[in-house]
Chains A and B, each alone.
Chain A
Amino acid sequence: MSLGGSETAKKPYVSIDDLYRKSTQFQMWSFTKSALEETKKKANENGTKVAKQRLLNEYNNLKESNRTLFEQYPQELNIDTIFDPLTFEEEQKYLHFYCEKIITTADFFNMATQVKATAMSFFKKFYLVNSVMEYHPKNILYTCLFLAAKLEYYFISIESYCKILPKTEPKDILDLEFIVLLSLKFTLLVYHPFRPLYGFFLDFQAVLLHPSPLMYDVNVDKLGHLYNQAKEWLNKYAIISYVGFMFTPPQIALAAMYDIDKRITNKYLQRKYLREQLDAIKEEQDEKKGQDEQKHQDEQKHQDEQKDEEVTDDNQSLESQQRTQYETIVRTIVKCIRIAKAETQTSLQESKDIDRKCFFTLNPAKMMNKKIKKLSSGTE
């Protein structure tokens, strides 16, 4: 966007996109859909291994002290029967449930959208590296929100924070803060689609309303309404989904606009990517011609004929290039919308079941003792 001062000599134009590509968000936390899926699966597999080891330690201890019972119930007390880790799907559902909880918790504290969105990003990143079978999501959620509030300038003291959270001590959160930071690989700046959305709101006005309105029924109010609805869309779909890991903030912002009003957004994109650039080419051509005229008068005619051919060739390839670019953008946006809206619905009962399962993978002793108690009372 802006000129790079004396750096201009080397590179005349550094775009926002160029800068974004240098961000840690792009370099370390952007994935293709399949790579993201793979990363989540790996976290689940790893968590399963850790949970199994944890259970095994408990199991061997108890087997030692309850030898007869274990011999009596080889079936019920078989390690493979007992071990019941969260499947990949269950873990994703569970995480989704907690993502929604981030929103309700943040809303309860009246925290700004920025804090909410950053906390959500932290939470998801944490579970791309770890599993709920290693760290229970409840305190991780609270820690992410606390950290996000600190980093987004809505600081809340740990005491007043914990006073309001159910059954949570400062230590529960402060002990996790560093662990969360490590999992985030110390990358703490998160780019959200809200600012680009505002930028598009301004640019929509510039492109669609000036110098004269392009669409008979589109005015500032209409665009303002579109902007507000798109903002809600981001809150409802974008923040909670994983689109931030697959698309750039401007792409997500455009997706919101497109899903709210396809007609207006399409007009904007066409104008921006097809028409606008065609205008630019025309100017360039005129300029070229002007320069040529000054040069070799004699050869002009001959040259011009040649040039004209070249120019039309160029023109066609450029036009098709632009069309491809335009189509790529629309395809990307549509894909983004689909992913944002493909949320997993989890019923309360389902969440409760998964919650129990998670509790036992994290606390195998409790589960084993319960089982042993039940079995030994059954023998009496």
Chain B
Amino acid sequence: MTEAETDTENVPQSKYTKDKKVGEGTYAVVYLGVQKHTKRKIAIKEIKTGLFKDGLDMSALREVKYLQELRHPNVIELVDVFGTSNNLNLVLEFLPCDLEVLIKSKDIMFLAADIKSWLLMTFRGLHHCHRMSILHRDLKPNNLLLAPDGQLKIADFGLARGLGNLNEDLSSNVVTRWYRAPELLFGAKHYTAAIDIWSVGIIFAELMLRIPYLPGKDDVDQLDVTFKALGTPTEQIWPNVSNLPLYNSLRVYPPPSRQELRNRFIAATDKALDLMISMTQLDPSRRCNTSQALLHEYFTELPSPTDPKNLPKNKPNEPTVESNGNTTKRRKVE
């Protein structure tokens, strides 16, 4: 049995150093390291084995499955995969920060152009996923990682899935609660890429508000919070909504008026509001897709999106590769 094993046993892991442990996720321990021959910084995600009595962890397998196919500047790069005595190791590009950390760093000011830049990169990455028929199903600020050069990368494909099959049931128990589209809240068994669009819409709002937009306390509360903010769906605006499994008599909230939304997002331009409204349509079939979003006038009107390398970064006192005086100064000023 050893042929295959010895092949990879000695070679791949010696190509990387595993320097220090930086984090521990649900099914993996993450180490920082260096790819020896390029001196490139990498992260090694070592999948815990033996935790899952049914063999190799499913989320890890999905992550490998999709990241092997998705090569895009705005999707985290899977540099390599190797195994050591039944241990699965994913070598990922090193991404020192994520959007959640930035949103929470209240001393860092976001310009409208910064938000536009992050949103644009998110859509570029997501567009690539969707045209490959892959749904992410867990978009949230915490899964939008930031490279030292400012590029945003969609990460964590542990819940992703392909739209390979026709008419098969999908699990509605996906997406972290606050970013979960209404069709999922209603337990829809058939849904589309529109669930990811919704999540990005909520992230867009969060980037402007700097606090979570729809923070439901539990699944029931999530419905209430969502519809209080965006109106309760009716058969009129969303045909057949009442046939969804978990749909039942809800408190009826009116949809927000344009003025109400303007007040909610004071800094947003009309185009920005248009795009957000289009992403957060209750009826998934009315939500825009990634192509439409990318062509939206919000992205062409001024201000132009910030050049990624000039975007705000975390940890101003720890110099990163691209960091220059400019960015630090701006942060202090604003």
Contact = CB atoms under 8 A, between A and B. Distances in A.
Interface of A: 1-7, 14, 19, 22-24, 50, 112, 114, 129-130, 134-135, 146-147, 150-153, 155, 157-158, 173-174, 177-179, 181-183, 186-189, 191-192, 194-195, 198
Given A147-B56, A150-B56, 14 more contacts: A3-B294, A6-B124, A14-B131, A130-B3, A130-B4, A152-B164, A152-B165, A157-B54, A158-B54, A174-B55, A179-B1, A182-B5, A189-B162, A195-B165
Nearest to A113: B165
B213 interface: no
Interface in B102-137: 120, 123-124, 127, 131-132
Contacts of A4: 127, 294
Nearest to A3: B291
A129 B165 CA distance: 28
A200 to B, nearest CB: 13
Given A6-B124, A24-B69, A182 B291 contact: no
Listed from nearest, the 3 A-B pairs whose CB atoms lie closest are A5-B294, A188-B65, A186-B81
Nearest to A173: B55
6 contacts: A4-B127, A6-B294, A155-B58, A178-B83, A182-B4, A189-B162
Given A19-B132, A155-B58, A179-B4, A188 B68 contact: yes
A182 B84 CA distance: 11
B86 interface: yes
B286 interface: no
Nearest to B128: A4
Contacts of A50: 3
B1 A186 contact: no
Contacts of B54: 150, 155, 157-158
Given A7-B124, A186-B68, A134 B165 contact: no
B4 A183 contact: yes
Nearest to A14: B131
A198 B166 contact: yes
Contacts of B86: 178
B65 A182 contact: no
A90 B213 CA distance: 64
Given A178-B83, A181-B56, A182-B83, A3 B295 contact: yes
A196 B69 CA distance: 19
A6 B61 CA distance: 32
B129 to A, nearest CB: 12
Residue among B4, B66, B171 having the largest count of chain A Cβ atoms under 10 Å: B4
A195 B3 CA distance: 37
Nearest to A50: B3
B168 interface: yes
A232 B188 CA distance: 30
A187 B68 contact: yes
A323 B23 CA distance: 59
A192 B164 contact: yes
Given A153-B161, A181-B56, A194 B166 contact: yes
Interface in B156-194: 161-162, 164-166, 168, 171
Interface in B1-43: 1, 3-5, 7-8
Contacts of B61: 147, 150-151, 188
Interface size class of B (residues with CB under 8 A): 35 or more
Contacts of A1: 131
A338 B56 CA distance: 39
Contacts of B65: 151, 188-189
A114 B161 CA distance: 13
A136 B263 CA distance: 68
B28 to A, nearest CB: 16
A146 B3 CA distance: 23
B251 interface: no
Nearest to B124: A5
B64 interface: yes
Given A5-B124, A7-B124, A178-B56, A112 B3 contact: no
A68 B3 CA distance: 35
B71 interface: yes
B166 A6 contact: no
Contacts of A151: 61-62, 65
Nearest to A195: B164
B290 interface: yes
Given A5-B290, A157-B54, A189-B66, A179 B166 contact: no
Contact of A23 (B7, B69, B127): B69
Nearest to B166: A198
B53 interface: yes
A114 B164 contact: yes
B132 to A, nearest CB: 6
Contacts of A129: 4
B111 to A, nearest CB: 20
Contacts of A192: 164
A195 B166 contact: yes
A188 B161 CA distance: 12
Interface string B238-270: 000000000000000000000000000000000
Contacts of A6: 120, 124, 294, 299
A181 B83 contact: yes
B4 A189 contact: no
A183 B7 CA distance: 11
Nearest to B66: A189
A271 to B, nearest CB: 25
B55 A158 contact: yes
Nearest to B53: A158
A238 to B, nearest CB: 16
Contacts of A22: 69, 71
A181 B56 CA distance: 10
Nearest to A157: B54
Nearest to A16: B131
Contacts of B1: 134-135, 179
A82 B255 CA distance: 83
Nearest to A22: B71
Contacts of B124: 5-7
B98 to A, nearest CB: 23
Given A4-B127, A151-B61, A179-B4, A189 B68 contact: yes
Contacts of A23: 69
Interface in B64-80: 64-66, 68-69, 71
